[in-house]
A and B are shown apart, each in its own frame.
Chain A
Amino acid sequence: MTFSAFFFQALNGLSTASGLFFIAVGLSLIFGVSRIINIAHGSLYMLGTYIAYSFATYIGGALGFWGGIVATALIVGVIGALIEIVLLRRVYRAPELFQLLATFALVLVINDATLWIWGPEDLLGPRAPGLRGSIEVLGRQLPSYDLFLIVIGPLVLLVLHFSLARTRFGRLVRAATQDREMVSALGVNQAVLFTSVFALGAALAGFGGALQVAREPANLATDLVAIGDAFVVVVVGGMGSITGAYLAAVIIAEVKAVCIGIGVVDFGFMTVNFSKLTLVAEFLVMAVVLIVRPYGLLGRPQAFVRSIAEPEDPIRAAMPALKALGAVVLVVLLCLPLLAQTSPYLLILGIDVLIAVIFATSLHFIMGPGGMHSFGHAAYFGLGAYGAALLVKWLAVPMGIALLAAPLVAFGGALLFGWFAVRLSGVYLAMLTLAFAQIVWALVFQWEALTGGSNGVIGVWPPPPFDKAWVYYLLTLVLAVVGVLLLRRFLFAPFGYAMRAGRDSVLRAEAIGIDVKRVHWLGFAIAGCVCGIAGGLFAFAKGSISPETIHVSRSIDGLVMVLLGGIQTLTGPIVGASVFATLQDTVMRQTEYWRALLGLIILLLVLAFPQGIVGAFSSLWRKSGVKS
């Protein structure tokens, strides 16, 4: 690559960096002050592009475009404030992960609202009035609008930096980022502070989205893509640091630009197409940064937040009533094939639910007792599914061996990724696991020769007698029961206790000879292994596997299932997975707007059952016990 081409790519990278910065900086500010990871932040960004499109096309001209961008930022800011007041304010006292669930529900609702208002087509806005031309840089044409983007990013950074450094509002934001309890103890009205920070963050996201209107079409998939990028930027830059966010945005955008610039390189023994490595590159940067600087480039160790959630009760062996209930459920499940003779769909649903149960229970194993909030459990599902499917495709192995290999492949992957992940904790661990899941996803998506790329692997059907739905259902049931009971057994054994001890107090656990990292590492790998079973079963149940089925949304689904059931109980993930999978399969069939419906149901559950379904029932149980 020539120097001029390289320089041109670098400029390109800088204009992309500004866009990344606008999403990330708001996310970072909001997290710093409220400790909420706003998954819906990408949705606000997406809304920004759509609203700006409407201004630019309906009003038109310079006013519609430039005025529209400013108006969009204000409108999205107001939407952000409303979200904070109506929803988030009610969940600040809920366990941290519940807040995630609430913001994820917003993603679903906003996505469908956008679909309803603007329709499913991509919408490309007009080019920017006054900046339609391009200027010549080293013999190439650089659009003036890109130049404008290159300038506006650092400009906003400067404005933000000085307002945080000099104004009273800025001081409060910085103080709250360091110790919000202290700030409230000093008599600062937290409600107003939180709302205004949320509004500011939302406005920045809306502004960033609006600026994209002249570059890229408004698209319904932008929300999850944007939030994925924003997570990476925030984590690389350091949570709560706005300068770090810009720095990280530049680094990531440049790495991507350079990858595209390098293109195909022939190393002699193999050719590598670097432009296809952009997805992996972004997450590799993050993984490397987190390993070298666990709190991001300019981040500091997180301020200790005194836990406001109720601590967990000691786990107890199942009471006779619960055991009896379990037996009844099992008998019903065994009889399901008989009931399903009239409606074969029931068995498909049953298989989906059971796979979800294995998936959620294995995630709960590390999330609950291990305290490791994995945002990338889909990786191990994917490794299991692809492990099994590829063995069938390339080596034509029998199903039995493929199903055995699935958990082993997932175990290997979890062992590798887990080694890095357990070195971090909290949000940083969550983001690193997400990064690993994205790497797995990008790998199967881009390694077309092996995995079939976006088409996936097809024709992975189970051989007779398992080709009959009821036989395969029973196989799934057996494996699900074995998996769930095995994990439960581990939790009651010394290993499970050691895992909880490490979660409760690392210091104390180390002081009685427990190697917490190693215990958590092994726990992580075990969870990945069991999750691989779910992946293998899924591949044969659907007869195919594609990158889409192991995307980030599956990881989020897992979180939702666990939190829905209640993270502090052992039966929680089973109930949560069953409810969620059933809702997904049934609600999805009813309406085009299934996401919104699902989102509203999740919101209802979050507000009505902050301890999860099982948690709510067991506290009801305890209350009635006290009365009688």
Chain B
Amino acid sequence: MSVLAIRSLSKTFGGVRAVNDVSFEIAQGEFLAMIGPNGAGKSTCFNMINGQLEPDSGEILFAGRDIAGLEAREIWRLGVGRTFQVAATFGSMTVIENVQMALISHAHEIYHFWRASAGLHRDRALDLLEQVGMREAAGRPSRELAYGDVKRVELAIALANEPRLLLMDEPTAGMAPRERNDLIALVKRLVVERGISVLFTEHSMDVVFAFADRIIVLARGRLIADGDAASIRDNAQVREVYFGTGKTFAGAAP
């Protein structure tokens, strides 16, 4: 059974149909990449799934339940983790406190007033940091971290609620090519170990074609292709939206 099923999702901004009748599914444990040129509707699609935007029409079924229009925090409580395009951590907290915060929330302990947070879920937080390779930095203020490390901490935060689905909006944006592959390899390994499904958007085709189990392609708000790496690579329509029809170069070709 699919973890996430998108049915005829649409969203209009003014006169622009940002997302137009998009449908797709993600199976349990699947690593699904959503690609498309700028303005294709990837972020809009993403923000509807994670609760930041309300769709005009269509269904977003998570584990069989329609989550369209729920608040971001409600969706998180159902078991959806996420990372941001521009990594966001709590700048006034240390690395481990960032992870502890998510664990505290997951354990419904936000409205506790007495026991100090510092001791709560510490082992579990260290464990999560260990998995993303950030255990050494546990005590550092998170605002001092290099960007690549912030992304790793974000991943640890996203895993804190033991999600069944992870949404990653351009997880490698702003990272050096070497770091990119390391991060995605790390995500892939964690996902395989835990059987989490991942939906991610990505601009780096290297990353997409090397790691994704399946790829969906959006262009001008519509889903134009859905398949494995090989079929997407050979898809004429995908080539057209990325490179044009090639007529411009026809004469110059050797």
A contact set with B: CB distance below 8 Å: 311-315, 317, 489-490, 492-498, 500-501, 503-505, 507-515, 519, 522
Q: What is the 8 Å Cβ interface bit string for chain B, positions 85-116, against chain A (1 contact, 0 not)?
A: 00011111110010011101110011111111
A501 contacts B93, CB within 8 Å?
yes
16 A-B pairs in the complex with CB atoms less than 8 angstroms apart: A311-B92, A312-B91, A314-B97, A315-B92, A492-B117, A493-B116, A494-B112, A495-B112, A495-B113, A496-B117, A497-B101, A500-B93, A504-B92, A511-B73, A514-B110, A519-B110
B141 contacts A498, CB within 8 Å?
no
Contact with B73, one of A317, A493, A510 (Cβ below 8 angstroms): A510
A495 to B88, CA, bound (A): 20
CB distance from A523 to the nearest CB of B (A): 11
User: Given the interface contacts A311-B91, A314-B94, A504-B92, does A513 sit within 8 Å of B113 by beta carbon?
Assistant: no
Contacts of B73 in A (CB 8 A): 510-515
- Is B118 interfacial (CB 8 A cutoff)? yes
B102 contacts A313, CB within 8 Å?
no
A495 contacts B90, CB within 8 Å?
no
Contacts of B84 in A (CB 8 A): 507-508, 511
A314 to B95, CA, bound (A): 10
B contact set with A: CB distance below 8 Å: 50, 52, 71-73, 76-77, 82, 84, 88-94, 97, 100-102, 104-106, 109-118, 120, 141, 143, 157, 160-161
Contacts of A509 in B (CB 8 A): 90
A312 contacts B88, CB within 8 Å?
no
B109 contacts A513, CB within 8 Å?
no
Contacts of B94 in A (CB 8 A): 314
Contacts of B97 in A (CB 8 A): 314, 497
A501 to B105, CA, bound (A): 11
Contacts of A497 in B (CB 8 A): 93, 97, 100-101, 104, 117
Contact with A513, one of B52, B106, B112 (Cβ below 8 angstroms): B106
B110 contacts A500, CB within 8 Å?
no
B116 contacts A513, CB within 8 Å?
no
* Chain B, Cβ-Cβ closest to A310: B143
B93 contacts A314, CB within 8 Å?
yes
CB distance from A484 to the nearest CB of B (A): 15
User: Given the interface contacts A311-B143, A312-B91, A317-B118, does A512 sit within 8 Å of B102 by beta carbon?
Assistant: yes
A505 contacts B105, CB within 8 Å?
no
A7 to B183, CA, bound (A): 72
CB distance from A414 to the nearest CB of B (A): 16
User: Given the interface contacts A317-B116, A489-B113, does A508 sit within 8 Å of B88 by beta carbon?
Assistant: yes
Contacts of B114 in A (CB 8 A): 489, 493
Contacts of B109 in A (CB 8 A): 494
A512 contacts B105, CB within 8 Å?
yes
A494 contacts B161, CB within 8 Å?
no
* Chain B, Cβ-Cβ closest to A490: B113
CB distance from B161 to the nearest CB of A (A): 7
CB distance from A616 to the nearest CB of B (A): 19
A268 to B93, CA, bound (A): 60
**Listed residue (B109, B116, B141) with the most chain A CB atoms within 10 angstroms of its CB:** B116
A513 contacts B161, CB within 8 Å?
yes
User: Given the interface contacts A504-B91, A508-B89, does A498 sit within 8 Å of B101 by beta carbon?
Assistant: yes
User: Given the interface contacts A317-B118, A507-B84, A508-B84, does A494 sit within 8 Å of B110 by beta carbon?
Assistant: yes
A351 to B54, CA, bound (A): 54
A314 to B138, CA, bound (A): 12
A494 to B116, CA, bound (A): 7
A311 to B143, CA, bound (A): 8
- Interface of A: prevailing SS: helix
- Can you list the 4 inter-chain pairs with the closest CB atoms, starting with the nearest? A508-B88, A504-B90, A312-B92, A513-B105
CB distance from A489 to the nearest CB of B (A): 7
**Listed residue (A312, A317, A511, A515) with the most chain B CB atoms within 10 angstroms of its CB:** A511
A493 to B114, CA, bound (A): 6
A493 contacts B115, CB within 8 Å?
yes
Extra A-B contacts (20), CB below 8 Å, given A493-B113, A501-B90, A501-B101: A311-B143, A492-B117, A495-B111, A495-B112, A495-B113, A497-B97, A497-B104, A498-B101, A507-B72, A507-B84, A508-B88, A510-B71, A511-B84, A512-B105, A512-B106, A512-B160, A513-B161, A514-B73, A514-B105, A522-B111
Contacts of A314 in B (CB 8 A): 92-94, 97, 141
**Listed residue (B82, B84, B113) with the most chain A CB atoms within 10 angstroms of its CB:** B113
Contacts of B89 in A (CB 8 A): 504-505, 508
Contacts of A311 in B (CB 8 A): 91-92, 143
A504 to B88, CA, bound (A): 9
CB distance from B155 to the nearest CB of A (A): 13
* Chain A, Cβ-Cβ closest to B77: A513
CB distance from A622 to the nearest CB of B (A): 13
**Listed residue (B71, B72, B104, B114) with the most chain A CB atoms within 10 angstroms of its CB:** B104
Contacts of B117 in A (CB 8 A): 492-494, 496-497
Contacts of A514 in B (CB 8 A): 73, 105, 110
A497 to B101, CA, bound (A): 7
Contact with A511, one of B50, B106, B115 (Cβ below 8 angstroms): B50
* Chain B, Cβ-Cβ closest to A486: B113
CB distance from B200 to the nearest CB of A (A): 16
B112 contacts A493, CB within 8 Å?
yes
A522 to B112, CA, bound (A): 12
A494 contacts B118, CB within 8 Å?
no
Contacts of A489 in B (CB 8 A): 113-114
Contacts of A493 in B (CB 8 A): 112-117
A511 contacts B110, CB within 8 Å?
no
B93 contacts A504, CB within 8 Å?
yes
A311 to B93, CA, bound (A): 10
Contacts of A522 in B (CB 8 A): 111
CB distance from B95 to the nearest CB of A (A): 10
A513 to B110, CA, bound (A): 10
Contacts of B100 in A (CB 8 A): 497
**Listed residue (B52, B76, B105) with the most chain A CB atoms within 10 angstroms of its CB:** B105
B118 contacts A492, CB within 8 Å?
yes
Contacts of A315 in B (CB 8 A): 92
A317 to B119, CA, bound (A): 12
CB distance from B124 to the nearest CB of A (A): 14
A498 contacts B105, CB within 8 Å?
yes
A312 to B91, CA, bound (A): 7
CB distance from A572 to the nearest CB of B (A): 15
User: Given the interface contacts A510-B72, A512-B105, A513-B106, does A494 sit within 8 Å of B120 by beta carbon?
Assistant: yes
CB distance from B85 to the nearest CB of A (A): 11
CB distance from A356 to the nearest CB of B (A): 25
User: Given the interface contacts A314-B97, A497-B104, A513-B106, does A508 sit within 8 Å of B90 by beta carbon?
Assistant: yes
